Each structure stands twice: as structure tokens, then as C-alpha cells.
A and B are shown apart, each in its own frame.
Chain A
């Protein structure tokens, strides 16, 4: 059922997943107009890690990261690592949930309690996760055009308002700062693709994984650059930097001869669409982790409980929107073990094992 994954679907899932949070935040970091440079750098730094991820999947066909860790490190260490990864995915899920909950809360439903907004999102995403990986991927094919529309539309409509000089002065920030901000983009959103390793048992039928992953993350890079530069050109810097949700405001500015204005009401719902895919993927990965942790065969039974956990976590994790945004600055450090250290460990152990097996008994393996 889940073994038939086409590369087109997988790449649209990757794009939707990576852009999920960023399309809303439109991330301008401390390096302001040099952000685009950080973005490109972050992708370059991310590439080797991506190749490690791909290699890990390739070494262990038909297994997800949890199975791999248990096989490589034995039951005890393996389960411990599984717990760590699962908790990270769960937290990521809660963070995105909280993010979009805050967005709806601030932008439109400020008199509705936070929890109510998040419950409605959780129920939907749990249903999506429960439908399975395959359905999720099909769904992203439908939502991808909406993303492209969201990114391109304000640019096309407000083209004459774009102020290209907003990108000057070029390289006005110390290079150290630019690298630091590149690492921010590295951990959010690029390296979050680690979540997909939680369900890598589902895509063994991919023919050329390297091409699919690298191409789709490159497309993400292009979109992220477009979002970023658009926000700077449209809003200007002090404004773009001061806003929690610059992309939303970029759409608020759309005004075509009094005829096509105030469209954000109809457009803002689509931002949430972007979030749901990301939450669903995290939820799916976390449920699979839980299932592997407790030795439950069918992860689908765990989706709802895990969703409830994520909801509870989203409610208590941060006190306010400011705190949540302030935490994003520390996120790279927090995510580093899960995005880099553990995968690195798994990869090295996998390589050693692979070589030992090959040397010991090639015919037996075949």
C-alpha cells in the first residue's frame, strides 16, 4: 500500500514540508538585506548533511530511522535514541502548531481561545496523518500550486511598488553574522527534513533519491529566496524586520486600482494550509517513533494520542508569542543533536556495519 512512492510526489511533499513554516514567517534575520546570501550559504552547508541522510536511507532499505537505530545500537541504546528523536519530532509538531495557532489568534480570531484554534488544527492534521503517508503526498501535490500562488501573487500585482534599492547596501554585515544566520536557516527549515527519515520505510521505491532530494531542496531555496526578497522589496527593511508575519502584510499591501484590494481575508486561510502539511508530517513521524518505542505494530492507533500530546505541549511550551519568536534564535542549538549529531552517529555506525558485512560474507548477504 505504502510502497509505491513516485519521486514527483515525494518532492512535492519535501517542498511543502520545508516551506510550511517559512512561507508564513518570511524570515528576516539579523543580517537584514544580506539575508539572501545567508539563505544560499545555508543550503550549501546543508547539502553534505542531506547526502548523509540519503546515504543512511540507502544503507538500510525498507527501514525507518527507529528501526535503523535499534539494529545498529542494540535494543537499549537504540530505544533511547528513538525516544530522543520521537520527542524532537513531537516538539517540532507542537512548535509549528503553536506558530500557526498564534498566527490565527493574532490575525483573525483574537477573541477565540488559543486552544480552540489549535484543537481544530490538530483534529484535521491527525486525520491527515492517519490517512497515511501516501494520501499525504497526494494532498501536497494539490497544495503546492497554492503555495506558488501565495509567493508570486503579491509580486506580480505590486510589481511597480517594488523598491530594488532596499537590497543595498550589500554585505553591510560582518561575515560572521551572515554565517551565524545561515546556520539559523540551516536548522529551520532545511535540516528539519530529518523528520522524513522517521518514515523512510515508505520510500524504498525511489529510483534516484539523490536527484529528488537535492532538486526539491533547491526548489525550496528558490522559493525561500523569492519570499525573502519579495518581503524586503515590498515592505522595506525596518518594516519587514519589525513584523511577526511579513508575508501576510505583503498580501495586505496588494491594491490594484481599488478593485483588487483587501484580499488577505481570503488568502490568509491558505497560509494555514501550508502549516497543516508540516504538522501532519511531524505527527506521522512522531507516531511511528512511539509505535516503534512501545512495539506497537500499527502506528495509526497512536496518531490521536500523539496529537493530543502535541496539543498539550503546544499549549504549555511557550507563554507568549514574543517568547516563541525569541526561542527561534536558540532553535539551531536545540535542534543540533537531533538534526546533526544522531544522524551522523547512525551514518558512521551504518557504514562500519556495511563494510564489515561486505568483508565477512558477501555471498551470504546476497
Chain B
């Protein structure tokens, strides 16, 4: 049995075929001395499954997908709408796990990802999966989307999916993969990308933040020079519909530690903390607003699930809006008012006056 850890999906450059690149766990070499290594196999076929079976032509064993954790799709595939077909195969086939991660290779052929070198472990697919999995608690710079969640989002009312994006970084001529924000979809088609920074504020808007940092300028403008470590974050999302006007309100509530500040410590009194909090709130609100505006203007795809929220809370209203939701979404007025509470200044005590 050849155990597949990850799969990259590309269009074949010279035909209509799909080209799949598999990362296999190399179980032939002695594992004790050098750990598990990876092996790359490439095959082509008319459909995804066909391509996977064709890999048997160059392998002694059939591929086994039960331990596959990451599927990387190329931009071309993401733009072509073939994602739906891929997901169908993944879900229909009993071997694939419903919890596997689907990621988009940003600006590079998907197969390149498996030709990189994993820093913490040699199996690139598992490395990516761990990076994404830990992300919402540590950095909040991408989304984790399991296969079944993606399927749900593609088939639910009023929501468009977002997938993590990966690209390649070269450090001292050694290539390694890194997670680079997220890819925004409109239906099954790729619409564009959010940077890691933008993704963070997107996550605040959809209440998916479990940690990470917030940076902001201490004086209210200029360069970011102060850092908060987020301990807990909850965003209340609500909407009102009055006189034919739809209005959404996002209210993130963040509990954070003050962890880095450029100003002299002496000045850190009650008054100063209040001022810092105020500036942090203003900065968070405006950045969330900017991301919402960008998504509305550039992509017009409801990745915030606003439509879904209306469907859930007021299905009758949704029935009316459903038809031209895409336009309604682009012109939607969204109000953001954040609340931040700095509970401690960490190891260093503030100097009282």
C-alpha cells in the first residue's frame, strides 16, 4: 500500500487532462535513523479519479488516501470551477477523510508545493496541515477549512467559501512553503486573495479568532508600534432591516494583554492605558471596515455569511433578498464598533504616578 499524505491538483499544460501530484510516505527506508521521508509521484487523467488510478502504472502498489491531510489546488483549477467535481470525488470516495484541508497554491503551480522542504518535518502535506491547524490560536492569519465545511459552505444559502492560500518562500536558496492569507471564492470559482494581515481582520468580522496579536499606533496615527496579545475574542454580528434598508453591525469584544510598547514605561498610567485602548479600538474597527469594503468592492462575494445570517434569523426577508444578493451585498452598509479590554500589562508593572 502506498500511503498518500498530500495531493496537488493542476491542469495538464498540454491537454485537457488533470495532473495530480502525490506526496507519498516513503516507508521503504529505515525510519529509525532518518525519520519518514517523502516521495513524489505524478500522474494524469481525464477525471480526478482517473488520474489517481493512472498512478498505478508507475507504482507497484495502489494509492491509499486514508491518511491524506492536505489537498493543494492550483489557481487555474480554482478559477475553472472544477473544485465542485474534486470535492464530490473526495466525499464520495470512502477513503478520503471529511476532515482533510483544502488549500490554494497562490501564484504557483500546485505541484511546486511538494517540491519544497518542510522545516519542522519532511512531509510537506502534514507540515501545512499543522501550520493551518494551529493558526487561529497563534497568529490568526489564515482560515482552516475542512472538506465537509467547504461542502457545506458551497451548498448553503448566502455564504461564499474562503480557503487558506499557500506559496513558496526561498530562504538561503532552500525552498519552503508558507501560508499566505486566504483565497476568496465566489461560488466554486476563485475571486481573489486576502493578505495575512487582511485575513486577520476578516476573522474578527466572522468571529473565528482564538488568539493572535493586534498591532496599532500608540498615538493614534503613524506606524504601528504597540502590540496586544489577544486572549479572547467574541464578535457579535447583528442586522436591522428598516424602511427597505439593510444594515449590519459587527461588535468585536477583545480581551488582551499589553505585550510590547515603544513608549517609555513611566508614562504607563491609568490615563495612558485608557488612551491606548481607545486608539486600539479605533484602529481595529477601521481595519475591519477596510477589509469588508475591499471584499464588497473587489470580489462581491459574501464570505462573511451575512446572507446566511439573514436566512437563519429571518427566512422570509431572505426570500426577498435572495435573488440579487450579490448586488445587495456589495452596497451593504456595515458598521463596526470594537471594544478592547487590556487586562494586564504582562510581566512589567506599569509605573504609577
The residues of A with any CB-CB pair to B shorter than 8 Å are 106-107, 110, 165, 168-169, 172, 235-239, 242, 249, 252-253, 255, 262
* A239 and B151 alpha carbons, distance in the complex (Å): 7
A106 to B95, CA, bound (A): 11
The residues of B that contact A168 with a CB separation of less than 8 Å are 312-313
**Contact A165 B148, beta carbon cutoff 8 Å:** no
Give Cα A107 to B66, complex, Å. Answer: 12
In contact, A255 and B99 (Cβ under 8 angstroms)? yes
A169 contacts B311, C-beta separation under 8 Å: yes
Question: Is B315 among interface residues, defined by CB-CB distance under 8 A?
Answer: yes
Shortest beta-carbon contacts, A-B, top 5 = A238-B155, A168-B312, A236-B152, A169-B315, A172-B315
| CA distance in complex: A242, B314 (Å) | 25
Report whether B148 and A236 are in contact in the complex, using a CB–CB cutoff of 8 Å: yes
Q: Closest approach, in angstroms, between the C-beta of B68 and any C-beta of chain A? A: 12
Interface contact A169-B312, CB-CB below 8 Å: yes
| Alpha-carbon separation in the docked complex, A143 to B107 (Å) | 55
> Which B residues, 65 to 80, have Cβ-Cβ distances below 8 Å to chain A?
66
**Quick check: is B115 within 8 A (CB to CB) of the other chain?**
no
A169: chain B residues within 8 A (beta carbon): 311-315
Q: Given A235-B152, A239-B98, A253-B98, list of 9 further CB < 8 A pairs?
A: A169-B313, A169-B314, A172-B315, A236-B148, A236-B152, A238-B152, A239-B148, A253-B99, A262-B66
Taking a contact as CB atoms under 8 Å apart, the answer to whether B313 and A236 are in contact is no
Is B312 within 8 A of A165, CB to CB?
A: yes
With both chains docked as a complex, state the minimum distance between the C-beta of A258 and any C-beta of chain B, in angstroms: 9
> Are B97 and A252 in contact, CB atoms less than 8 angstroms apart?
yes
Say whether B91 contacts A236, CB under 8 Å.
Answer: no
Q: Bound complex: CA of A237 vs CA of B99, how far in Å? A: 16
- Give 5 CB contacts A-B under 8 Å: A169-B311, A235-B148, A236-B152, A236-B156, A242-B91
Whether B152 contacts A239 by the Cβ 8 Å rule is yes
B206 CB to closest chain A CB (Å) equals 12
Q: Helix, strand, loop or mixed for chain B's interface? A: helix
Bound Cα distance from A236 to B98, whole angstroms? 12
Which parts of B153-201 form the interface with A (CB within 8 Å)? 154-156
Across chains A and B, the number of contacting residue pairs, with CB separation under 8 Å, is 42
Are A238 and B156 in touch, CB under 8 angstroms? Answer: yes
Assembled-state Cα–Cα distance A237/B94 (Å):
20
Spell out B's residues near A (CB within 8 Å).
66, 91, 94, 97-99, 148-149, 151-152, 154-156, 311-315
Residues of A near B156 (CB, < 8 A) are 236-238
Tell me how far the C-beta of A259 lies from the nearest C-beta in chain B, rounded to whole angstroms: 14
**CA–CA, A286 to B316, complex, Å?**
50
In the bound complex, how far is the Cα of B268 from the Cα of A258, in angstroms? 43
Which of these, A110, A237, A262, contacts B152 with CB under 8 Å? Answer: A237
Q: Are A253 and B94 in contact (CB under 8 A)?
A: no
Contact A238:B151 (CB < 8 A) given known A106-B94, A249-B98: yes
Residues of chain B with a CB closer than 8 A to A110's CB: 94
Closest residue of chain A to B148 (Cβ to Cβ) is: A239
* Nearest CB in chain B to that of A243: its residue: B91
Shortest beta-carbon distance, A221 to chain B, in Å?
A: 26
* Minimum C-beta distance from B146 to chain A (A): 8
CB contact under 8 A between A107 and B99, given known A165-B312, A169-B313: no
**Which of A107, A236, A239 has a CB less than 8 Å from the CB of B94?**
A107
Q: For residue B152, which residues in chain A have a CB less than 8 angstroms away from its CB?
A: 235-239
Residues of B within 8 A of A253 (CB): 98-99, 148
In the complex, which residues of chain A have a beta carbon less than 8 angstroms from the beta carbon of B99?
Answer: 252-253, 255
Q: How far is the CA of A335 from the CA of B99 in the complex (A)?
A: 39
> Which residue of chain A has the shortest Cβ distance to B305 in the bound complex?
A165
A261 to chain B, nearest CB (A): 8
Least CB distance, B136 to chain A, in whole angstroms: 12
Tell me, in angstroms, the Cα distance from A249 to B152 when the chains sit together.
14
Distance A169 CA – B314 CA, assembled complex (angstroms) = 7
In Å, the complex CA distance between A39 and B148 comes to 26
Given contacts A110-B94, A253-B99, A255-B99, A236 and B312 within 8 Å (CB-CB): no
Query: Which B residues are in CB contact (< 8 Å) with A236?
Result: 148-149, 152, 156
Q: Which residues of A contact B66 (CB under 8 A)?
A: 262
| Distance between Cα atoms of A168 and B314 in the complex (Å) | 9
Residues of A within 8 A of B148 (CB): 235-236, 239, 249, 253
